[in-house]
Structure 1
Amino acid sequence: MITQCPIQPNTTFTYQFHVDGQEGTLWWHAHVSLLRATLHGIIIIRPKSGSYPFQKPHMEVPIVIGEWWQMDLMKVDKDFANGGVSDDPGADATGDTRGDNPASATINGKLGDLNNCSGVAEDNFVMNVEYGKTYMLRLVNAALFSEYYFKVAGHKFTVVGADANYIRPYTTDVVAVAPGETFDILMVADAPPCRYYMVAKANQPPLPDPQIPEFISNGIVQYKNTPSNADNCRHEPLMPKMPDQHDTLASFYFHGNLSGLPGHPLLTQIKDHVNEHLLISLGKGTICKGNKPSCKRGGSNESIEVAYMNNVSFSYPEKMSLLEARQYGNRNGASMVLQDLPSRPPRSFNFTDPKLIPVVPGGELERLEPSRKATTVRRFAHNATVEVVFQSTATMQSDSNPMHLHGHDFFVLAQGHGNYNPVRDVRRYNLVDPLLKNTVQVPRLGWAAIRFVADNPGAWFLHCHFEFHIAMGMSTVFSERPSSHPSAMGQEPYIRTDQA
């Protein structure tokens, strides 16, 4: 209901889109409720010239990390939209939905031999390789809930692309891929011919954050023509040493070590002048049930948990999409009330104080919980340069936040731990060869700064790619006008706008 209405039952819809300037790996997925758990696929954009800015691989292998669900995904979505509390009396004594979790992780749809669903080990995804050849792994995280660490025992990777953009080659033995992210990875089959485990393992913040099961899936890299009498191949495949599930620093350093290619045509513009500055806090708060003006918080059943941007939890339009309303105005009696997304959080505090994680009555968090529901939009003039600093918080949890912007790539200028400091941290901005992406992993208890050019007219969704955060309202809309439109800087006359 942002750029378009959902595709209706028993109908078809044809997308036509340009991929000019993009090469590498993208993906498509459903955007209604949690249905993207199974409604997704990979998009591969190869160079028209046939040549890469690195050694051409012998073969390309899509690797899609996903999750296996044995639950009604529409119900799970409703549970989270209801503040993480189920209306099913059989959920448990409190209605808590922390049991609303997938059954397992998957690699290319395979559960892997860690699972034993029918008395025998489940099949692994098997990647057959030949010694000495180079393989491009097109890695996608299509999971709903978790960032994953990805490794292949006995092998190193060279990361050469991210979100359909080339990057400076970066060598590592572990890749951290958040929901929504894609990476193009070169792997040379240079280990002794044998079998090696390929592992995808989810990470999560440690206690006192709410804990979910550890999700992990195994695949196998298997060399062709492996000698049957090789001593090191008679037993189980070699297992890589994985980061601990509570180790989020490995993700921080992986993402921080990536950089883009210099010379992008928009780099000069984003260096020279910034038209709009936004500081967006990402966290969880509460609203009162029944739209009451006040209520008890701190875990009380009088309030509902929401996820927010600057303490505003997004409310979806119901009668028409935002782009349709902007183009055609009020039709068939449909009305829409929008609010401007605040440029800053409503109050300043120590955003990353771990003492704010536990939800307890009477604590400091209770004062910070109050939030509100609204359909928020931020309007930009055509070709404006926009800087957004995302600040993760510790309110009710300390998750990282993979932030994804539709309709754009953006430059990732810097990331850091703690509270963003505009005087100190702007000096750390990479304005020479910043990473160009469409999803940025905002670190746990930290921040990330991006810039983009508003050169694509339309209504574009900005949201966290953790599906439970989307369901709970961690999203907003960036609206961009073409330069010729008379109200490019103003508000649309046919949509009533309440100033936040």
Structure 2
Amino acid sequence: MVTQCSILPNQNFTYRFNVAGQEGTLWWHAHVSCLRATLHGALIIRPRLGASSYPFPKPDREVPIIIGDWWKMDLAEVARKMKDNFFDYFPSASTIDGKLGDLFNCSGVAEDGYVLDVEPGKTYLLRIINAALFSEYFLKIAGHRFTVVACDANYVSPYTTDLIVIAPGETVDALVVADAPPGKYYMVALPNQAKLPETQTPEATTRGIVQYKSHHSPGSNGEEALRSRRTASKEEEVQVQPVMRRNLTSLRVDEHLFVTLGLGTICRRGQYCNRTKENETDLVATMNNVSFHLPTTTPLLEAHYHHIGGEDALILLPEKPPRVFNYTDRSLIIVGPVEKLLEPTSRATMAPWFQYGSVVEMVFQGTAILQGDSNPMHLHGHDMFVLAQGLGNFDAAKDVARYNLVNPPLKNTVVVPNLGWVAIRFVAYNPVFIVEDGPTTNTLLPPPPVDFPSCSRNDNLVPDEYHLQTPEIKVSRIDEI
């Protein structure tokens, strides 16, 4: 309901899109409910001239590595029940390329794990994707090191590490040389656990095997990988450096937004409710204290193209939160008097609105309201320059001076660290936000394709999420509510 209606059962739709100017690893996934956890795959874009034109040594083999999670509960049910409480539902296992690994068993029999066969001396390009719903993962191969060469389909200046941290939605391309003594070595994917007083949830480690073809005796280095959790920290997250210099010092910023990320509650019936009673409120994620509400009749992009009522129902995303407070005060994680004052929020169909070609700077600020976990932020249809990130509250007076305007990394997903912030900059040229038409034919929003999915009100076909009968709010700014 943002770019289109959902594809209904027994129907299909073919996506046609342009990847000119992009190289590397991306991925595709479902956008309905929590189905992203199971419906996804790699999308690999190679140079026109083939692997020989990579800006790093040509690998002997390329291997997609998809980290995911496995749920016992039906994912549509997970989505429905999370409206009551985010923290009661979590995956039962983790996977590497769909394999559970020998840490899990069914009826007492260890599950098969992912196996990567390698040959001594050869180089492997691992195209790593985190397709899990929520967890950041630490990835380690015992006895081996990674040379990171790209992130989010953007090349980086290669650097070497023995540990990769990857957030949901991120991709990392890394070279691994099979230069260890022949044997078997654990490949371990370990979900990150937030610190207390965060709600502690089960985090399921999984592991596969890197196996040398010329020798099949068990290796002795598996425990090294399992110890990686004790030595890893949030400060070890992947820090990328770009291949080409991207000097932004002369780039004029047209729009500034400061966006807080947190949780809140909305009353299920009417404007007022008893927030101490769980059955009277829904727990929602918010940006600047507003929770996004899907339109119920016409997708936003279609309404924008045809200049029909959907635009009138849009709320402009506020440029800053409604009140200033100590965003990273850990006491706000636990329900209390101060937290109760900040918890009430609203729900609306909202979007920023930019002129074509506008340079937009956003600071995402993590908050401690009911949680203090990290937040991966993904920008559809754009790449963004990551200017800086830090812990605590963003302070423009000192933090702007830290911005990397000479050679900032270019990504499409960036992690806002636990109780921290990240500053990004991008050029608005794609109508994923509401972006006005540009001055040329190539910068106009194209019409919907002839086989564009139509919305059906048939109760047997439309997912539950699209039966929300909340009335449209015909205002232009959130402060008018």
* 1:165-180 alignment, distance < 5 Å: 165-180=154-169
Question: Of 225, 244, 252, which residue of structure 1 is paired with 2:229?
Answer: 244
Contact kept in structure 1, 2:318 and 2:477, CA below 8 Å? no
CA distance in 2, matches of 1:128, 1:166: 26
Q: Residue 57 of structure 1 corresponds to which residue in structure 2?
A: 59
Question: Of 302, 306, 309, which residue of structure 2 is paired with 1:328?
Answer: 306
Q: Residue 71 of structure 2 corresponds to which residue in structure 1?
A: 69
CA distance in 2, matches of 1:236, 1:124: 17
Contact kept in structure 2, 1:262 and 1:432, CA below 8 Å? no
* 1:150-161 alignment, distance < 5 Å: 150-161=139-150
Q: Residue 134 of structure 1 corresponds to which residue in structure 2?
A: 123
- Local SS of the residue matching 1:252: helix
CA distance in 1, matches of 2:243, 2:332: 39
CA 339–193 in structure 1, closer or farther in 2 if over 3 Å, else same: same
* 1:83-482 alignment, distance < 5 Å: 83-84=84-85, 98-226=87-215, 233=218, 237=222, 239-244=224-229, 250-255=233-238, 257-264=239-246, 267-268=247-248, 271-292=250-271, 294-297=272-275, 301-330=279-308, 337-360=313-336, 363-456=337-430, 458=431, 460=432, 478-482=433-437
Deviations 1:430-449 (A, max 9, x none): 11211111100110010001
CA distance in 2, matches of 1:429, 1:373: 33
Cα distance, 1:239 vs. partner? 4.2
TM-score by length of 2: 0.88
Contact kept in structure 2, 1:40 and 1:142, CA below 8 Å? yes
Cα distance, 1:483 vs. partner? 2.1
- Local SS of the residue matching 1:327: helix
Contact kept in structure 1, 2:265 and 2:284, CA below 8 Å? yes
Q: Which amino acid aligns with 1:254?
A: E
CA 336–252 in structure 1, closer or farther in 2 if over 3 Å, else same: farther
Deviations 1:29-79 (A, max 9, x none): 000001111110001111112211111111111100011111111111011
Deviations 1:124-153 (A, max 9, x none): 100011111111100000001211000000
CA 263–195 in structure 1, closer or farther in 2 if over 3 Å, else same: same
CA 276–114 in structure 1, closer or farther in 2 if over 3 Å, else same: same
- Local SS of the residue matching 2:242: coil
TM-score by length of 1: 0.85
Contact kept in structure 1, 2:260 and 2:366, CA below 8 Å? yes
Regions of 4+ moved over 6 Å: none
Q: Which amino acid aligns with 1:45?
A: I
CA distance in 2, matches of 1:165, 1:369: 38
Contact kept in structure 1, 2:188 and 2:226, CA below 8 Å? no
Contact kept in structure 2, 1:195 and 1:238, CA below 8 Å? no
CA 271–157 in structure 1, closer or farther in 2 if over 3 Å, else same: farther
Range 191-200 or range 429-438, more displaced: 429-438
Cα distance, 1:387 vs. partner? 0.3
CA distance in 1, matches of 2:221, 2:162: 21
CA distance in 1, matches of 2:401, 2:311: 45
CA 299–152 in structure 1, closer or farther in 2 if over 3 Å, else same: farther
Q: Residue 5 of structure 1 corresponds to which residue in structure 2?
A: 5
- Local SS of the residue matching 1:221: strand
Cα distance, 1:202 vs. partner? 0.2
Deviations 1:137-187 (A, max 9, x none): 000000012110000000111111001010111211100010000000011
Cα distance, 1:335 vs. partner? 8.6
Q: Which amino acid aligns with 1:4?
A: Q
What RMSD over aligned residues (CA atoms) do the two structures have, in Å?
Answer: 2.2
CA distance in 2, matches of 1:342, 1:401: 19
Q: Which amino acid aligns with 2:313?
A: V
* 1:25-36 alignment, distance < 5 Å: 25-36=25-36
Contact kept in structure 2, 1:317 and 1:336, CA below 8 Å? no
CA distance in 1, matches of 2:404, 2:379: 20
Cα distance, 1:27 vs. partner? 0.3
Cα distance, 1:10 vs. partner? 1.5
Q: Which amino acid aligns with 2:215?
A: T
Q: Which amino acid aligns with 1:315?
A: H
CA distance in 2, matches of 1:449, 1:481: 24
Contact kept in structure 2, 1:243 and 1:250, CA below 8 Å? no
Contact kept in structure 1, 2:374 and 2:419, CA below 8 Å? yes
Q: Which amino acid aligns with 2:308?
A: N
Q: Which amino acid aligns with 2:236?
A: Y
CA 347–298 in structure 1, closer or farther in 2 if over 3 Å, else same: farther
CA 193–277 in structure 1, closer or farther in 2 if over 3 Å, else same: same
Structure 1 unmatched ranges of 5 or more: 85-96, 461-477, 489-494
CA distance in 2, matches of 1:181, 1:11: 30
CA distance in 1, matches of 2:73, 2:250: 48
Contact kept in structure 2, 1:298 and 1:365, CA below 8 Å? no
- Local SS of the residue matching 2:240: coil
Cα distance, 1:271 vs. partner? 4.1
- Local SS of the residue matching 1:25: strand
CA 131–423 in structure 1, closer or farther in 2 if over 3 Å, else same: same
- Local SS of the residue matching 1:263: coil
CA distance in 1, matches of 2:404, 2:275: 42
Q: Which amino acid aligns with 1:414?
A: A
CA distance in 1, matches of 2:170, 2:351: 24
Contact kept in structure 2, 1:283 and 1:309, CA below 8 Å? yes
Cα distance, 1:204 vs. partner? 2.1
Identity %: 53
Q: Which amino acid aligns with 1:250?
A: S
CA distance in 1, matches of 2:370, 2:228: 25
Q: Residue 467 of structure 1 corresponds to which residue in structure 2?
A: none
Cα distance, 1:299 vs. partner? 6.6
CA distance in 2, matches of 1:238, 1:410: 38
CA distance in 1, matches of 2:364, 2:438: 27
